Structure formats: C-alpha cells, structure tokens
Amino acid sequence: LSLYPNPANQQVTLSLTEAVDFDKIATQKTIQITDMLGRVIHTFETNNTQMTLNTSEFANGSYFVLVSNGSQTVVEKLLLIR
C-alpha cells in the first residue's frame, strides 16, 4: 500500500500495487480510514488497485488507512496538513 502525496492536502492517491500479491487474493477490498484513537472516519469497498480519495472534509491530523481483502490487512499512516 502506498499513499501519495503524504502529507496530503485536499486529496490522496491510494495504490495497492505495492502490496505483495494483494490484488491476486481477492478482488473486493475494504478500505477504512481511522483517526489515531481508532475511530472510523470513512469506510468503503472497491475492486480497484488505485484510486484518489477526497480528504477535503477531514480535519487536519494523522490517520490510518487500512485495506483488507478478508484474509490480509495492510496499514499505512496518512498525515493531512492544510
């Protein structure tokens, strides 16, 4: 999982191609954005291996981006600065 730009401002691109065999195990992925306390900010499902996420409505701060396919989960830290 890679996020760029990071730190982000209005949007961030999520790329799952970096994860070893992640796109081969299952097509449906759950993406969850949480704050540093573990509160879920946003959740969605996708079949894509790359997408752009609009972060303009998120508050400044640090977040975790968790991507799961049911058997494997990868986590990356995201920093939002405006």
Report the alpha-carbon distance of residue 47 to residue 53 in Å, rounded.
Answer: 14
Its pTM stands at 0.86
DSSP 51-66: EEEE-TTSPSEEEEEE
- Give whole-number Cα distances, 39 to 10, 16, 29, 33, in Å: 21, 23, 19, 9
- 9 pLDDT more than 70: yes
- Dump pLDDT digits (tens) for 11-60: 999 998 655 455 555 578 899 999 999 999 999 998 888 899 999 999 99
- 70 pLDDT more than 60: yes
Q: Give residue 4's pLDDT.
A: 95
